[in-house]
Amino acid sequence: MKKSIGFLSILLLFTTFINCSSDDGASSPLEALVGTWISTSIVFSDCLDSEENGILTCDPFCISVTINSDGTYSLTEVDDAGGQQSETGTVTATSTTILLCESTEPNCTDPDSYTLTNSVLIVTEAEDDISGCQSVITFNKQ
């Protein structure tokens, strides 16, 4: 009987630590990403044309994306000449990947990896089919 009580006490203590250790207030990976994110920099590497490698500092921003709790997003991108392009679609996320599917491309299947630390989101995009570049985009939550 003492062994059972000791074992149950240890099990209860272990369960309490496990449940509290990863509590970030979000009930799902998507919930943790909900909000407006503004890019601060984009790093391009491994490009087929080495002149395309480098860091793009975004001032005031290159990309603004708003992720909604209903699984939709809206994104605005500003190019070098100041022109803007916008898109909307759906978003899905796991604890390590994010997939933005533009409304005009509902069958997308190539998620990007990400890390989230407090209000900084770092997205590593897969290699671009045309340029061969891999890009790492840093966002701050607004």
pLDDT in tens, 111-129: 999 999 999 999 999 777 7
CA distance 120 to 31: 15
CA 97 – CA 79 distance, rounded (Å): 26
Closest among 62, 82, 60 to 125, alpha carbons compared: 62
Residue-wise pLDDT tens digits, 74-113 = 999 988 778 899 999 999 999 999 999 999 987 888 899 9
CB 101 within 8 Å of CB 93: no
DSSP 94: -
- Give the pTM: 0.76
* Sign, Cα dihedral of 96, 120, 138, 64: positive
> And the tokens for 77?
């991108």
- Residue 17's H or E segment, with its range, is helix 2-21
Domains recognised in the chain with CATH numbers: 26-141 (2.40.128.280)
H-helix or E-strand containing 19?
Answer: helix 2-21
CA distance 98 to 75: 14
